[in-house]
């Protein structure tokens, strides 16, 4: 926030105080640049807002967001209140200061009452102790096992960082080749001479959202349907597999059904937002991705999205 401590009229002083109050009330961290004390930073400010000489001015990630003048036009600080809410709430969640409850093998009744019937459609939780008896928990630790059982079966693989990124695509390949090239990242394409294969190998590969267990019943024998699935309304919709190398990311999205996500090998960081946050997560407005957010949560572009 750019301010000045000299030549300040009463109105300017009150505007600065008001903007600070709003930022602080919403727990938004900010840097105050007093141009009277740091005149060199005036040119930095003007570079970002050549048409605005009003103070105070608010900038996020080097972009002008608003001054007293524009904020008053926008219904008396309402836009700033929205901005503070977005920054505060998204910032709070990014810090990971709220964690979902961990439940050690809750009873069906407890799971149903506490996690499926709560207001708003359910409260997520992490269930521990529900998978130790799955053969997959030991067998799948060895990639050699998966190669041996299903290495020759053709599976769909997503190529690219994730489905919202340019250059993302899908390809069919044998599961064994996927494991070698994309999970273990051993260069199996050497000797094929195919320049295209070489280029594809460099993209991240993700066997994602695939009904692998319908396709390969030998692998279905390694998992057991958790009893909690019986609590859903109607039939089980689908049992999908996600299998990828470390660092794989799925963009923020919502699904039409309740989900149980069972982690067999490795670890996964899952970030959840309540349905009430949807407008501030800016879902795509058209196309096939209206269930996905336009925000890259690892690097949110707050300057572009607070205003829309
Ligand atoms: O694990 C992932 O990468 C995505 C999982 C997912 O999208 C889901 O469970 O709905």
Residue 303 covered by a domain: no
Q: Is the dihedral of CA 242, 266, 258, 232 positive or negative?
A: positive
In a domain, 101, yes or no: no
* pLDDT tens-place string over residues 153-192: 999 999 999 999 888 999 999 999 999 999 998 754 444 4
Q: What are phi and psi of 234, to 5 degrees?
A: 75, -165
Asked whether residue 15 is assigned to any structural domain, the reply reads: yes
pLDDT confidence bin for 138, thresholds 50/70/90: very high
Minimum CA distance residue for ligand 1 atom 2: 250
Task: Flag whether 275 is in a domain.
Answer: no
Residues 6+ apart with CB under 8 A from 151: 174, 175, 176, 179
- The model's pTM: 0.68
Average pLDDT of the segment spanning 246-256: 92
On average, the pLDDT of the chain sits at 82
What CATH number did the domain enclosing 221 receive?
2.60.120.650
In a 10 Å sphere around its CB, with 0-12 CB exposed, 13-18 middle and 19+ buried, how is residue 134 labelled? middle
Euclidean distance between CA atoms 111 and 113, whole angstroms: 6
Domain count across the chain: 2
Determine whether the shortest distance from the Cβ of 291 to ligand 1 is under 6 A: no
pLDDT score, position 104: 93
110 in any annotated domain: no
Q: For residue 272, what pLDDT is reported?
A: 87
Q: Using CB atoms within 10 Å of the CB of residue 158, give its burial: 0 to 12 exposed, 13 to 18 middle, 19+ buried.
A: buried
255 lines ligand 1 (CB under 6 A): yes
pLDDT at position 188 is 47
The pLDDT of 98-123, averaged and rounded, is 86
> By alpha-carbon position, which residue is closest to atom 10 of ligand 1?
255
In terms of residue numbers, what domain contains 266? 130-270
Residue 95, pLDDT score: 46
User: Which residue matches tokens 């928990």?
Assistant: 137
- The percent of residues above 90 in pLDDT, for the chain, comes to 43
**Lowest mean pLDDT: which of 35-49, 192-206, 274-288?**
192-206
């Amino acid at each position: 926030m750019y301010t000045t401590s000299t030549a300040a009229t009463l109105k300017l002083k009150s505007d600065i105080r008001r903007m600070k109050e709003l930022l602080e009330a919403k727990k938004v961290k900010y840097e105050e640049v007093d141009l009277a004390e740091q005149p060199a930073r005036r040119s930095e400010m003007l570079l970002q807002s050549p048409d605005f000489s009003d103070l105070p001015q608010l900038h996020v990630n080097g972009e002008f967001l608003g001054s007293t003048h524009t904020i008053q036009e926008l219904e008396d600080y309402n836009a700033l209140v929205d901005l503070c809410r977005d920054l505060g709430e998204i910032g709070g969640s990014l810090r990971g200061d709220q964690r979902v409850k961990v439940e050690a093998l809750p009873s069906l009744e407890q799971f149903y009452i506490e996690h499926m019937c709560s207001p708003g459609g359910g409260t997520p939780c992490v269930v521990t102790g529900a998978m130790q008896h799955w053969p997959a928990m030991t067998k799948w630790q060895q990639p050699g096992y998966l190669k041996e059982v299903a290495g020759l079966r053709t599976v769909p693989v997503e190529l690219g960082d994730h489905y919202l990124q340019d250059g993302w695509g899908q390809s069919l390949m044998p599961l064994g080749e996927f494991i070698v090239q994309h999970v273990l990242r051993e260069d199996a394409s050497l000797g094929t001479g195919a320049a295209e294969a070489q280029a594809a190998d460099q993209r991240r590969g993700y066997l994602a959202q695939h009904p692998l267990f319908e396709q390969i019943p030998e692998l279905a024998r390694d998992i057991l349907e958790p009893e909690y699935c019986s609590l859903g309304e109607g039939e089980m919709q689908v049992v999908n597999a996600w299998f990828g190398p470390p660092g794989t990311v799925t963009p923020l999205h919502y699904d039409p059904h309740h989900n149980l996500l069972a982690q067999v090998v490795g670890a996964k960081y899952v970030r959840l937002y309540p349905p009430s946050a949807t407008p501030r997560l800016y879902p795509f407005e058209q196309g096939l991705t209206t269930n996905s957010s336009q925000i890259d949560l690892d690097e949110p572009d707050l300057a572009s999205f607070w205003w829309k």
